[in-house]
Structure 1
Amino acid sequence: MSLRKTAAVIVCAVFFGLLLLLYAMFRGNIQSGFDGLERQAVTENLRRVQNALNRDLKNLEGMAADWGLWDDTYHYLQTGDDAYVEANLTAQSFGELRLDVLALYDASGRLQAARQYDATEGVLFDAAKPVSAMTEAAPGLLRLDAFEGRKSGLAFYEGQPCLIVAQTVLTSARQGPAAGTLIMAQMLDVAKVAAIAELTLLDVKLLPLTSQELPPGLTDALAADPDGGYAIRTPDATTVSGYALLRDIARGPALVLAVSMPRSIHQQGRLLERAMVGSLTTIGIMFGLAMLYFVERFILSRVTGLGQEIAQLGQGSRKRVTPLAGNDEVSALSRAVNLMLDELDAARAHYVMATRAAKVGVWELQPDAGLIVVDPVIAGLLGYDSPGQPEALALWLDRLAPEDRDSLVRPGQHLFDKPTFERELRVVAAQGGVLCFLCRGQFVPGADGSPSRLVATAVDITELKQAAESIRALSGRLMQAQESERASIARDLHDNVAQDLSSLKIAYETLLDGLADVDAALRQRLEAASGLLARTIASVRELAYGLRPPNLEHLGLDQALRRLSQEMGQASGLAVSYAGVGLEGLDVDADVAINLFRIAQEALANVRKHAGASRVEMRLIESYPKLILRIRDDGRGFDAVREHGDCPGEASRPCMGLINMRERAGLFGGSLRVISSPGHGTTVVAEVPYAGEVSHAQQTPAHR
C-alpha cells in the first residue's frame, strides 16, 4: 500500500469514528430542545391572539359603559322617546364605532330597541327577533347581579360567534334605579378574524367544536382541562398548530381557537444538526490536515524540494520542474507537473485564438485613478489602437453612445452598488459605425475591503442584435400576412361558402313544394338534411368570425372585447366580466387592435382549457402612451417561475399560446407578464404602446 493510501486510511478511520461518536451524543438533546422552543412559540402565539380578542372585548366594554352610563340612554328607557333612537342609533354611529349589534331592554326585561349594522351595505335594520333569540339562549345577559353590573364574553348571534357586552343602564352620575340593560356586540366574522390574523401576522381560525378540521378527541381534551390549557399538534412535517378552547359568556365551551405556523424552529433544529455535522466534518478535516502535515513533514520529505520548485514556477523564475527519479508518488507528481505545464501552454495559445475568433476581450476599470485597460482584441474590433496598458477613462467614455454614457455617469448612481456588473454598451467605431458589446464583470476589493476596480469581459453581440431585430421584423410581417390571409379566408367562407350552403338549404326546403302525396319518410330525410345544412352554415359563419372578428372592424377594440367576453361566458358558463377604462375618443391602430384582441382570445382560451376557474375579469386600461390588457381568473394557477415558457402542468411540451402572446406584444415594443402560483389563480398582463392621439379634454400629468 502506498504512503498516500496509508495516510488516507488512518485519517478517515479516526475522522469517521469521532464524527459518529459526537453525533450520537448530541443529536437527541439538540432536537428535543428545539421542539420545546417550538411548543413555547405556539403557546405564545395563542396568547397573542387571545390578547387581541380580549383587547377588542375591553374596547367594547368601554363603549358599552359610555352608552349605558348616559343620561340620554337612561331617559329613553324611562320614557320610550323615539328621538333618542333617531339621533343616536344611526348607520354613521355604528360605522364609526365598528359596532354590529346594539339592543336596549327596559327594567322589566322588555326589548325597547334592537339594531344591526350591515357594514358592506352601510345600512341599519331591525334585529328584534335575532336579539330576542340570543337573550333567550343566554338569559344571564339580562340578569346582572351588581347595581352597576356588566357581563362580557362570547355569544352566538344567529349561529355566528360574536363579542358581546351587557351593561346596566344608569344615569351619567351612576345613579339608579337601573333603567334596564344595554347590549352591544361585534361579530367575529371572516373579516374580523382576517383583521386579527393581519394584526398578529398569524394564520388564525375560529372553529366550531364539531369542525372536521379539528384533530379527533381534541375538543374533549380541551374541555376537560379546568385551567383552559393549550393543545399542540403537528398535522404534517412543515406545519405546527396550536389550539385553545374559548368559552362563552356562561363559561361553557363555545369555539376552538386555532393558530398555525410553519415549523421554522423545528427546521432550525434540523439545520443545527446539519451545522453540527458540518462543524464536526470541518474539525475532522482539520485533524486530517494536521495528520497529513506530520506525514508530509516526517515521511514525505522529498515533496519539500518539489514544492519549492513549484513555488518558483508561480514566480516566473522557472519554466519546468526537475523530474525526480523513481516510481513512487513524488516522482510521478514531478512528471505530472511538467505535463500540466505543457497543457497549460497549449491551452493559453488556444485561449488567445478562441477570444480573437469569438470577438471576446477583457477590460479593467480603475475609477479612482480615472484609468481603463482595454484588451487589444476589443480595440481592434473597433478600429482603434490600444497598448494594453492603462489609458484615460474619458477617452473611452467619449467613444460610447450618448445614451449609454449618460447611464454610466448619471449623478447619484454608483457602479459599485452591486457586487457584479452586467450591461450592454454601444461603442462608436473609428469608421463611424456602432458596435454593441455585452459586458460582464466583477468588482475586486481593495485593501480596505471595499470595491476598488472592475474586471470584466466584453463580447461583440452586434450581429446577434441585428439578427434579433431581423427576426422580430420577420415575425411581425408573418403575423400581418397571417391576419391578411385569415381575413381573405373569412370573406371567402362568409361570401361564397356560407351563401352557397344557404342556397342549397333553401333548395332542399323547397324541393317538394307543389308535389302531392310525397312519402313521409322522404320528407323527413329532406328535413334532416336541411337541419344539417343549417348547422353547417352556422359553423362556417362561426369559423369566419373567428378568423376575422367583424366586431373589431365595425365596433372598435373596446366593444369587440366586450362582445368576446359575453360570447366566452355564454359558451363556457364562466362568469366573465369586462371593463374598459379611459378609452373614450381613443384612436387605436388596426394592427395594435387585432394583436391585443388575439392576445385576449388566447388568454381566455387558456382559462377555459386549463384553469378550472369560475370567474374571469378582463380589463383594458389606457395609460398614456400604453394600452394595458389585464386578464385575471380564480382558477388552479401554476408555478409561473418553474414552468416559464411551457404549458401549465406540461413542462415537457412548449406552450405555443404563451409564446405567440409574447411575440404579439413584443411586435410593438410591448411586454407580456404571467403572474401565477398554485391555488391562487393566474393573471396575464399585456402592455402595448398604441398609435394615435388621445382626444381627452384634459390630460393628467400621468398621461404626459
Structure 2
Amino acid sequence: MDAIITVDPAQRIVLFNRAAEVVFRCSRLDALGAPLERFIPMRFRAAHQSHIEQFARTGITSRRMGDNLVLWGLRAGGEEFPLEASISQTREAAGNFYTVILRDITLRKHSEDRLKQQQAELRELSARVLEAREEEKTLIARELHDELGQLLTALKMDLAWLRERLPPAESELGGKAAQMDALLDRTVTSVRRISAELRPLMLDDLGLHDAVTWLTDDFAARSGVSCQLTLAEESALEGLERNVANTVYRVLQESLTNIARHAQAAHAWVMLAGDAEGLRIEIEDDGRGIGKEDLVRPRSLGLKGMRERVLYLGGTLEIDRAPRGGTRVRARVPRPHAAQGGT
C-alpha cells in the first residue's frame, strides 16, 4: 500500500494515511496540521517549494515527481530515505490542495546501488585483464620481432653463404636450397605479420598516426577491400596516453577484421579526428550490414571487448547500420584530463 499525503494551500497536512504512518514512522495525529517540509530534508525544502509553485502554474492535474531523479524523504526520527512519488492538484475556493502518493524504495535503491557497484568492479576487472593482455601481447610481439626475427635473418644469411658454395653440378642441392630460402622468406613474413597483429611496434615507436596508416594499408592489401582513410594532422595525435592510443587502435583493428571476415564489402572508410578533449573514430563499409542479433550474440567477444575498452575510459561506442547499407562503428575516447573534468 502506498503512502498518501494531502496538503492545503498553506502546505499543511490534512490527510495522512496508514501507509504514510509506517513510511515516515509518525502517527497520523502528530502529522495532521504539521507543515509538509517536516518530512523533507532541509537541503531540498527551497527547491520543493519552487517546484510546487511551478506545478500550480502549469494547470496540469497530475504528474510524476522527479523524473529520472531519486527523491528523498525524512522520517520522524531524522533518517533520510529514497522514494518515488506522483503529485496531483485540486482547485478549491480556498486555493489548491495537493496530494502526493509515494513509495519507499530503500530496498530497490540499495539493490540498484549494489548492482552499479558490481558492474563498476567488473568493468575495472575487465580493464585490468585487457591491460594485462596488452602487455603480454607487447612482450610476445617484441620477442617475435627481435629474437625470432634475428634468428631467422641469421639463418637466411647462412643459407645464402651455403648456396654460394654449392658446386654448380649439384643442381638438386641447389634447388633444395632455393626452396629452403623461399620457405624462410615466407616464415619471416609470417612472423612479421603475427607480431604486427599482436602489437604493431610502430604504435609504441612512431605513434598512432603511423600505426593507423599502416593498419589500413595492410587491411586493403590483404582483404582486397578499397579503404579510404581520412586522418587528423599528426600533431593532433601526438602525446597521446598509451591507453587511449591502444583503445583507438584496437577498435579500428577489430572493425577492419570484422569487415574482412563478415561484411562482404567492396569499400571501407576510416576517419580519425583528434582534439584537446579526445579522439573520435568512425569506420564504415558498404557490405551486408550488421544485424541486431549479431550485437547481442554471446560469442561476439570482439564487439564486447571494444565496448569495454571504450566505456572504461569514459567514452562512447555506437554500432549501427551505415547510410551506405553496411555497418558503421563510431567511438569517442576522451583524454584522461577531459574525462575527469567532466565529472
State TM-score, norm by structure 2.
0.72
Change (3 A) 1:572 1:463: same
Q: Is the 8 A contact 1:512 1:518 kept in 2?
A: no
Residues of 2 paired with 1:623 and 1:397: CA distance?
43
Asked if 1:551 corresponds to 2:190, the answer is no
Residue 194 of structure 1 corresponds to which residue in structure 2? none
Residue 70 of structure 2 corresponds to which residue in structure 1? 425
Residue 26 of structure 2 corresponds to which residue in structure 1? 387
Residue 473 of structure 1 corresponds to which residue in structure 2? 124
- Give the letter for the 1:681 counterpart: G
Residue 216 of structure 2 corresponds to which residue in structure 1? 565
Asked if 1:488 corresponds to 2:133, the answer is no
SS of the residue corresponding to residue 271 of structure 2 reads strand
Change (3 A) 1:668 1:534: same
Residue 308 of structure 2 corresponds to which residue in structure 1? 663
SS of the residue corresponding to residue 465 of structure 1 reads helix
Residue 244 of structure 2 corresponds to which residue in structure 1? 592
Kindly state the Cα deviation for residue 540 of structure 1 after the two structures are TM-superposed. Answer: 0.9
SS of the residue corresponding to residue 636 of structure 1 reads coil
Residues of 1 paired with 2:220 and 2:320: CA distance?
23
Q: Deviation per CA, 1:282-317, whole angstroms, max 9, x where unpaired? A: xxxxxxxxxxxxxxxxxxxxxxxxxxxxxxxxxxxx
Q: Is the 8 A contact 2:85 2:103 kept in 1?
A: yes
Kindly state the Cα deviation for residue 548 of structure 1 after the two structures are TM-superposed. Answer: 1.5
Residues of 2 paired with 1:677 and 1:395: CA distance?
53
Structure 1 runs of 4+ aligned residues shifted over 4 Å read 361-376, 388-391, 397-400, 411-422, 426-430, 441-448
Residue 497 of structure 1 corresponds to which residue in structure 2? 148
- Give the letter for the 1:510 counterpart: W
Residues of 1 paired with 2:166 and 2:315: CA distance?
66
Change (3 A) 1:394 1:387: closer
Query: Which of 164, 174, 180 is the equivalent residue of 1:529?
Result: 180
Asked if 1:634 corresponds to 2:273, the answer is no
Q: Is the 8 A contact 2:286 2:326 kept in 1?
A: yes
Residues of 2 paired with 1:689 and 1:374: CA distance?
52
Residues of 1 paired with 2:321 and 2:27: CA distance?
50
SS of the residue corresponding to residue 387 of structure 1 reads coil
**Seq. identity, %:** 25
SS of the residue corresponding to residue 584 of structure 1 reads helix
Residue 95 of structure 2 corresponds to which residue in structure 1? none
Q: Is the 8 A contact 1:638 1:678 kept in 2?
A: no
Kindly state the Cα deviation for residue 580 of structure 1 after the two structures are TM-superposed. Answer: 3.1
Give the number of the structure with larger relative contact order, counting CA–CA contacts within 8 Å between residues 6 or more apart: 2
Residue 686 of structure 1 corresponds to which residue in structure 2? 331
Q: Is the 8 A contact 1:444 1:453 kept in 2?
A: yes
Change (3 A) 1:638 1:595: closer
Change (3 A) 1:506 1:559: closer
SS of the residue corresponding to residue 511 of structure 1 reads helix
Residue 270 of structure 2 corresponds to which residue in structure 1? 618
**Which one is further off, 476-485 or 653-662?**
653-662
SS of the residue corresponding to residue 281 of structure 2 reads strand
Kindly state the Cα deviation for residue 417 of structure 1 after the two structures are TM-superposed. Answer: 9.3
Change (3 A) 1:620 1:503: same
- Give the letter for the 2:257 counterpart: A
SS of the residue corresponding to residue 320 of structure 2 reads strand
Residues of 2 paired with 1:517 and 1:500: CA distance?
28
Q: Is the 8 A contact 1:375 1:388 kept in 2?
A: no
Aligned alpha-carbon RMSD (Å):
4.3
Kindly state the Cα deviation for residue 667 of structure 1 after the two structures are TM-superposed. Answer: 0.9
Change (3 A) 1:577 1:366: farther
Residue 315 of structure 1 corresponds to which residue in structure 2? none
**Which one is further off, 522-531 or 617-626?**
617-626
Q: Is the 8 A contact 1:575 1:615 kept in 2?
A: yes
Residues of 2 paired with 1:680 and 1:526: CA distance?
51
Kindly state the Cα deviation for residue 619 of structure 1 after the two structures are TM-superposed. Answer: 1.4
Change (3 A) 1:469 1:494: same
**Which one is further off, 664-673 or 563-572?**
563-572
- Which one has the largest radius of gyration? 1
Query: Which of 305, 317, 321 is the equivalent residue of 1:672?
Result: 317
Residues of 2 paired with 1:555 and 1:548: CA distance?
13
Q: Is the 8 A contact 1:638 1:676 kept in 2?
A: yes
Residues of 2 paired with 1:508 and 1:658: CA distance?
45
Q: Deviation per CA, 1:451-508, whole angstroms, max 9, x where unpaired? A: 9645445211332222222112111111111111111111111111121122222223
Residue 601 of structure 1 corresponds to which residue in structure 2? 253
Kindly state the Cα deviation for residue 644 of structure 1 after the two structures are TM-superposed. Answer: 3.9
Higher helix fraction (1 or 2): 2
Kindly state the Cα deviation for residue 668 of structure 1 after the two structures are TM-superposed. Answer: 0.9
- Give the letter for the 1:387 counterpart: C
Residues of 1 paired with 2:168 and 2:262: CA distance?
55
Change (3 A) 1:691 1:445: closer
Residues of 1 paired with 2:136 and 2:309: CA distance?
17
Kindly state the Cα deviation for residue 672 of structure 1 after the two structures are TM-superposed. Answer: 0.7
State TM-score, norm by structure 1.
0.38
Residue 212 of structure 1 corresponds to which residue in structure 2? none
Kindly state the Cα deviation for residue 560 of structure 1 after the two structures are TM-superposed. Answer: 2.2
Q: Is the 8 A contact 1:588 1:691 kept in 2?
A: no
- Give the letter for the 1:565 counterpart: T
Q: Is the 8 A contact 1:674 1:683 kept in 2?
A: yes
Q: Deviation per CA, 1:419-469, whole angstroms, max 9, x where unpaired? A: 697646397999xxxx996x6x67476679xx9645445211332222222
Please list every run of 5 or more consecutive structure 2 residues that lacks an aligned counterpart in the other structure. 92-97, 339-343
Q: Deviation per CA, 1:375-418, whole angstroms, max 9, x where unpaired? A: 89x98xxxxx7338678457544478xxxx89x96x98999997
Residue 165 of structure 2 corresponds to which residue in structure 1? 514
Residues of 1 paired with 2:317 and 2:279: CA distance?
12
SS of the residue corresponding to residue 684 of structure 1 reads strand
Q: Deviation per CA, 1:488-533, whole angstroms, max 9, x where unpaired? A: 1111111111211222222233234434355212221122122112
- Give the letter for the 1:656 counterpart: L
Q: Is the 8 A contact 1:569 1:575 kept in 2?
A: yes
Change (3 A) 1:419 1:425: closer
Residues of 2 paired with 1:636 and 1:600: CA distance?
19
Change (3 A) 1:677 1:544: closer
Residues of 2 paired with 1:539 and 1:429: CA distance?
69
Q: Work out the number of aligned pairs and report it.
A: 306
Residues of 2 paired with 1:619 and 1:416: CA distance?
51
Kindly state the Cα deviation for residue 602 of structure 1 after the two structures are TM-superposed. Answer: 0.7
Please list every run of 5 or more consecutive structure 1 residues that lacks an aligned counterpart in the other structure. 1-360, 380-384, 647-652, 694-704
Residue 94 of structure 2 corresponds to which residue in structure 1? none
Change (3 A) 1:581 1:519: closer
Q: Is the 8 A contact 2:248 2:281 kept in 1?
A: yes
